[in-house]
Structure 1
Amino acid sequence: MKIALLSYSTKPRGGVVHTLALAEALAAAGEDVTVWSLGRGGDSGFFRPVDPSVRVRIVPFPDGPPGESVGARVLRSIETLGAAFAATGAGAYDIVHAQDCISANAVGRCVRTVHHIDHFTTPELAACHERALVEPYAHVCVSRTVADELADGWSLPARVIANGVAYERFAGTEPAARDRWKNRLGRYVLTVGGIEPRKGSLDLLEAYGTLRARHPGVKLVIAGGETLFDYRDYRARWEARAAELGVEPVVLGAVPDDELPALVAAADAFAFPSVKEGFGLAAMEALAAGVPLVVRDLPVLREVFDSAARFAGTPEELAAELGRALTEPDPARRAAGRELAARHTWREAARLHVELYRSLAGVRGAV
């Protein structure tokens, strides 16, 4: 089959990581795959090299006018990607599979992966989000919890196909690479995803204030954070609260892709306090690396991680569970985490996607 996978960004976000890994696994299975994306900020390629078996089409997306709103930027993103795809790609594929709201709006009727369901108040974003759910003719969700939310709220059925994880990449890091991070940072709790509301960053900061009083030598390290949205106000509140608490987390920003596995593997614990998730790929990578994991007590994270993680609701509980993760070795939980991560392969995810694609051959809307 000729398959187009579409993403809104070339930056290292969970949905983009998913898109590239799925594309490479599909190509390894013998499918003809092209990944389309917008090239923001002058990007001409993705944040990491892509296997040459996958074609890559980057659509230039120049910066907008000063003061451009998020809503206007989203609409311009949809228009830019949609025009390029319509001009050269729309009729060339058996399956067009959008991985996010922007690309789903850009191509219209398609297969859509719903990683998680957002709730926007900005009118443009709310309308785009709604269209990106109801217009696709088939849906994939990366967890049963999100599929149930889609069914309950929109009466839309979805095929559940879990994320894979690059197990060997995170489980087999070089000791010297881990030591470099240890020598630089000492003991640390790591979170990946940046500082933003959905990631529960303020709650984690509060938890760290409590944790640091009990474990003064432990740092909080925050990696990642590339986003389409403007979280400057939230970031300002976060920085003000850090000053009030007298703590100085280490904010790394985007970490080069080849350095990320060692950063994860060298952590003493991994915090994942998101208030909204569809699967938790970064947390699954931490399990692959054998790092103790503490996650927000959400139904979706209970579904995905079960006994492999520690769960916490409030900042106080998060601090307590992180403290236990730092001081109470749990070999059985660690082994369960590695086993869970090893079961989630991109090869199996690709096989299930191919099965879905072939079942859609006669569905109206498929080419």
Structure 2
Amino acid sequence: MRIAIVSHYMPPHTGGVEQVAALLARTYADAGHEVSWIACATPLPPGEATEEGVRFVRIADANVLERRFAMPFPLIGLGGWRTVARAVAGADVAHVHDCLYATSIAATRQRTPYIVTQHVAMVSFGGGLIDPLLATAYRTAGRDVLRRARHVAFVSENVRDWFTQHVAPDLRASLIPNAVDTSLFHVASDAERTAAREAFGIPRDAVVVLFAGRLVPKKNVRALVDALGHTDAHLFVVGDGPERDALAALGHRVTHVPRIPHARMPEAFAAADAFALPSTGEGLPLSLIEALASGLPCVVSDDPAFAGLAACDAVIRTPLAQLSSALVDALAMPASRRVTSRAWAEARYGLARFRDAYLALLAEAAR
């Protein structure tokens, strides 16, 4: 099959959607399909390239909403719209990531059959006029994209339930959680841990909490910094964004690496003793399941997005007001919890199930 993958961004722009799309691009190419991936170019210039059997089409965009308001909604012009349209029209089937991006809407205006992976429910951007406008957009343009899809794959129960209740209750849909390559993300040896800390400049004997993600308000980085201020732990941050100034409060007890290739993320997890993601409005964050596969105890917020992890002994769900004590508890977990964390990831987020589910959906959609 000729498969067109359409997303808002692609690497080196950082984000979970980009990494899931990258995993699918490799999966489809490895299965012998002809794969094109179309997305906005930020932070690279527009252009085309072919790497490892995948054709990358980077289109010109205006990234003002992310730059000014931390809203990852790149804007495209007529030329970008036409580029998306041509690429999708030349495919047998398209795989669209999320329903409300400009690239998604452009892709789904063609006659090519498509499926959608919906990664997130509605995220609040501080209230005011933005939130009701966004909700209206989901109930109009987003609903249209989802209803015309041959199939919609939701990454978590929370995302599925939000769309069922607020957008469209009658979609052709299923639940396909994100996946992680458990051969790459694994419980680190002592030697790997020491080497990783040396590579990132982290004190060898520190107790380390890792945060990986964009430094934007919904991730609650300021709350994490405040909570760690009541402990002796060292914060290791992989990611960047407008909230980076909050890190200064920890002084020498923070190591900040704004961006690394995703191929080095196993090394980042190897350097940590625990993982923290006290965010809201998530789908199924790739960084979280990578942390679980790496055998790390995890601390997350009590946001409904994380309700599905309640049965995992290696995950602590906590209100932000109790974040500090939750981090202390996570760091005190026995080594046996690493086995629990790893086993949870292997049982639920393996590549084989993920690959087979999506290849079957695409084959059915292309008929």
8 Å contact kept, 1:171–1:290: yes
Match of 1:134 among 127, 144, 149: 144
1:107–1:125 distance in 2 versus 1, CA, 3 Å: farther
Say what the alpha-carbon RMSD is for the aligned residues.
Answer: 3.3
Q: CA deviation at 1:305?
A: 6.2
Q: Does structure 1 residue 185 correspond to structure 2 residue 187?
A: no
1:173–1:79 distance in 2 versus 1, CA, 3 Å: farther
CA–CA distance in 1 between the matches of 2:193 and 2:187? 11
Q: Does structure 1 residue 355 correspond to structure 2 residue 355?
A: no
1:45–1:297 distance in 2 versus 1, CA, 3 Å: farther
TM-score by length of 2: 0.81
Q: Deviations over 1:34-54 (max 9, x none)?
A: 2111211334689xx986132
Aligned to 1:298: 303
Quick one: which amino acid aligns to residue 152 of structure 1? Q
Q: CA deviation at 1:79?
A: 4.6
Q: Does structure 1 residue 340 correspond to structure 2 residue 344?
A: yes
CA–CA distance in 2 between the matches of 1:71 and 1:250? 23
8 Å contact kept, 2:280–2:305: no
Q: CA deviation at 1:30?
A: 3.2
CA–CA distance in 2 between the matches of 1:166 and 1:91? 32
CA–CA distance in 2 between the matches of 1:266 and 1:40? 29
1:177–1:330 distance in 2 versus 1, CA, 3 Å: closer
8 Å contact kept, 2:4–2:88: no
CA–CA distance in 2 between the matches of 1:360 and 1:256? 33
CA–CA distance in 2 between the matches of 1:160 and 1:342? 17
Aligned to 1:76: 75
The 3-state SS of whatever aligns with 2:354 is helix
Aligned to 1:52: 52
Match of 2:261 among 238, 256, 261: 256
Q: How does 1:109-258 map to 2 (within 5 A)?
A: 109=109, 110-119=114-123, 121-122=129-130, 128-130=137-139, 131-136=141-146, 137-138=148-149, 139-154=152-167, 155-157=169-171, 158-171=173-186, 177-183=192-198, 184-186=201-203, 187=206, 188-210=208-230, 212=231, 216=232, 218-225=233-240, 232=242, 238=246, 243=249, 249-258=254-263
The 3-state SS of whatever aligns with 1:76 is coil
8 Å contact kept, 2:20–2:178: yes
Aligned to 1:229: none
Quick one: which amino acid aligns to residue 82 of structure 1? W
CA–CA distance in 1 between the matches of 2:256 and 2:76? 28
Quick one: which amino acid aligns to residue 145 of structure 2? E
8 Å contact kept, 2:60–2:76: no
Task: Using the aligned pairs only, state the percent identity.
Answer: 26
Q: Deviations over 1:320-352 (max 9, x none)?
A: 121122223140x32121112223223321211
1:118–1:80 distance in 2 versus 1, CA, 3 Å: farther
8 Å contact kept, 1:42–1:62: no
- Higher RCO (C-alpha 8 Å, min separation 6): 1
The 3-state SS of whatever aligns with 2:263 is coil
CA–CA distance in 2 between the matches of 1:269 and 1:71? 27
1:361–1:257 distance in 2 versus 1, CA, 3 Å: closer
Structure 1: runs of 5+ lacking an equivalent: 227-231, 363-367
Aligned to 2:42: 40
Q: CA deviation at 1:68?
A: 8.7
CA–CA distance in 1 between the matches of 2:70 and 2:324? 36
1:246–1:35 distance in 2 versus 1, CA, 3 Å: closer
The 3-state SS of whatever aligns with 1:328 is coil
Match of 1:92 among 69, 90, 93: 90
TM-score by length of 1: 0.81
Structure 2: runs of 5+ lacking an equivalent: none
Aligned to 2:8: 8
Q: Does structure 1 residue 326 correspond to structure 2 residue 331?
A: yes
CA–CA distance in 2 between the matches of 1:50 and 1:314? 46
